[in-house]
């Protein structure tokens, strides 16, 4: 049959089923789950595409979230999209989100051993009102135990427990990138079909890239060893800087072109700004699947066991040679 036609028929759900042949009955569930994530992505992408044309999409709500950050209307809308999409799914027992202090329970979905979705509904929401790219980040885990106290303490485990992880990038095109532990795969939304179509399979990050991605506005907030690394890339031929303000965009560029993204701890936030369970761990899962690395600077991100749901972490992520270069400055500084 026609190659282009074959490709247009490689939808996300078909790809997940192909990936999961050895998973048995779980394959159907995870395929259905990924389809619900795709639906959430389509709903959010549609809203963004009309943001300037509709009332009540852009701007702030006037609220402050559990992170102490001012909440954008799109943060709330996107959070509610994920809840609504999964309430009817029959697949997910709990939703843990950056926008909610406690997980959202869906008891009617909850035979033991079902899935939990951890997500950042809109990552980089500072880009909402200026029409720059941003993303949603998701991570899927299997519930362990009965969570009778409603504290979801089984989620406080390392990132290697993730069954699947990925992001949706709302950019010039809307892309969904995911892994279920069998490589990293890119899908692009074809609005005329309303489907995410496979555009790249088994993506591997280059071992080195020219780009370092960090907010240099924090330069004097960092420990000296990070300043030493920045002085090194400033004076060494072949490096250039890119920083978008939305981690999903910066991570996607890093995945495609190579390089390193870093958000070190600062004087105000020694533990870093980025959250572990629904930002750094899912992206670390993807990056390792693509042959890259992700570390706090001293420990692999996927080995960190959080003490609380919204725990933050320093993050250095990208090509293994470039991550190692940053680590070498950290080790020198210790």
Binding residues for substrate: 123-126, 215, 243, 273
Q: Based on the shown chain and the rule CB under 6 A, indicate whether residue 258 belongs to the binding site for ligand P6P.
A: no
Classify burial at 310, counting beta carbons within 10 Å of its beta carbon; exposed 0-12, middle 13-18, buried 19 or more.
middle
Nearest to 249 by CA among 168, 189, 149, 328: 168
Q: Which is nearer to ligand P6P, 179 or 213 (CB)?
A: 213
In whole angstroms, give the CA distance from residue 304 to residue 271: 13
In whole angstroms, give the CA distance from residue 186 to residue 280: 19
Nearest approach, Cβ of residue 131 and ligand P6P (Å): 16
Q: Based on the shown chain and the rule CB under 6 A, indicate whether residue 259 belongs to the binding site for ligand P6P.
A: no
Q: Which is nearer to ligand P6P, 27 or 51 (CB)?
A: 51
Tokens of 159: 């990132």
Dihedral sign (CA 240, 322, 138, 64): negative
CA 132 to each of CA 18, 56, 62: distance values in angstroms, whole numbers, following the listed order: 34, 18, 22
Nearest approach, Cβ of residue 215 and ligand P6P (Å): 3
Nearest approach, Cβ of residue 196 and ligand P6P (Å): 22
Stretch that binds ligand P6P, among 103-111, 122-130, 172-180, 198-206 (CB under 6 A): 122-130
Nearest to 196 by CA among 11, 19, 9: 11
Q: Which is nearer to ligand P6P, 61 or 215 (CB)?
A: 215
| Contacting residue, 10, 109, 215, 311, with ligand P6P by CB under 6 A | 215
| Contacting residue, 29, 75, 123, 288, with ligand P6P by CB under 6 A | 123
Query: DSSP state, 279?
Result: I
Binding-site members for Mg(2+) are 98, 120, 122-123, 279
Nearest approach, Cβ of residue 73 and ligand P6P (Å): 16
Asked if residue 295 lies in contact with residue 263, where contact means CB atoms within 8 angstroms, the answer is no
Nearest approach, Cβ of residue 57 and ligand P6P (Å): 18
Q: Based on the shown chain and the rule CB under 6 A, indicate whether residue 245 belongs to the binding site for ligand P6P.
A: yes
In whole angstroms, give the CA distance from residue 156 to residue 307: 6
Could you say which residues in the range 266-325 bind ligand P6P, by CB under 6 A?
273-274
Nearest approach, Cβ of residue 46 and ligand P6P (Å): 21
Classify burial at 166, counting beta carbons within 10 Å of its beta carbon; exposed 0-12, middle 13-18, buried 19 or more.
buried
| Count of positions on this chain that bind ligand P6P (CB under 6 A) | 9
Nearest approach, Cβ of residue 286 and ligand P6P (Å): 15
Q: Based on the shown chain and the rule CB under 6 A, indicate whether residue 124 belongs to the binding site for ligand P6P.
A: yes
Q: Based on the shown chain and the rule CB under 6 A, indicate whether residue 122 belongs to the binding site for ligand P6P.
A: no
Q: Based on the shown chain and the rule CB under 6 A, indicate whether residue 67 belongs to the binding site for ligand P6P.
A: no
Q: How big, in percent rounded to 5, are the helix, strand and coil portions of the chain?
A: 40, 25, 35
Asked if residue 61 lies in contact with residue 5, where contact means CB atoms within 8 angstroms, the answer is no
3-state SS class at 6: helix
Binding-site members are 98, 120, 122-126, 215, 243, 273, 279
Interface positions with ligand P6P (CB under 6 A):
123-124, 126, 215, 245-247, 273-274
């Amino acid at each position: 049959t026609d190659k282009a036609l074959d490709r247009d028929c490689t939808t996300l759900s078909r790809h997940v089923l192909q990936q999961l042949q050895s998973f048995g009955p779980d394959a159907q569930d995870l395929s259905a789950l990924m389809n619900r994530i795709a639906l959430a992505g389509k709903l959010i992408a549609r809203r963004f595409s009309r943001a300037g044309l509709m009332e009540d999409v852009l701007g702030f709500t006037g609220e402050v979230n559990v992170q102490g950050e001012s909440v954008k209307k799109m943060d709330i809308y996107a959070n509610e999209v994920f809840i609504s999409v999964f309430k009817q799914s029959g697949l997910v027992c709990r939703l843990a989100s950056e926008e909610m202090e406690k997980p959202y329970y869906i008891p009617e979905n909850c035979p033991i051993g079902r899935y939990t979705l951890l997500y950042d509904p809109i990552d980089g929401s500072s880009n909402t009102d200026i029409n720059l790219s941003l993303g949603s980040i998701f991570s899927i885990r299997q519930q362990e135990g009965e969570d009778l106290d409603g504290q979801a303490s089984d989620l406080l485990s390392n990132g290697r427990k993730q069954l699947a992880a990925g992001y949706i990038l709302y950019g010039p095109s809307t892309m969904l990138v995911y892994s279920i532990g069998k490589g990293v795969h890119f899908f692009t939304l074809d609005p005329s079909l309303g489907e995410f179509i496979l555009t790249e399979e088994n993506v591997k990050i280059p071992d080195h890239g020219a780009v370092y991605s960090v907010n240099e506005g924090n330069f004097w907030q960092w420990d000296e060893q990070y300043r030493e690394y920045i002085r090194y890339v400033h004076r060494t031929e072949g490096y250039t800087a890119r920083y978008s303000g939305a981690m999903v965009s910066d991570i996607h560029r890093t995945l495609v072109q190579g390089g390193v993204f870093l958000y070190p701890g600062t004087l105000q936030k020694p533990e870093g700004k980025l959250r572990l369970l629904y930002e750094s761990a899912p992206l670390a899962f993807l990056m390792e699947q693509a042959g890259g690395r992700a570390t706090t600077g001293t420990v692999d991100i996927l080995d960190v066991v959080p003490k609380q749901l919204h725990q933050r972490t320093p993050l250095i992520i990208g090509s293994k040679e470039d991550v190692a270069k940053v680590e070498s400055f950290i080790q020198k500084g210790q």
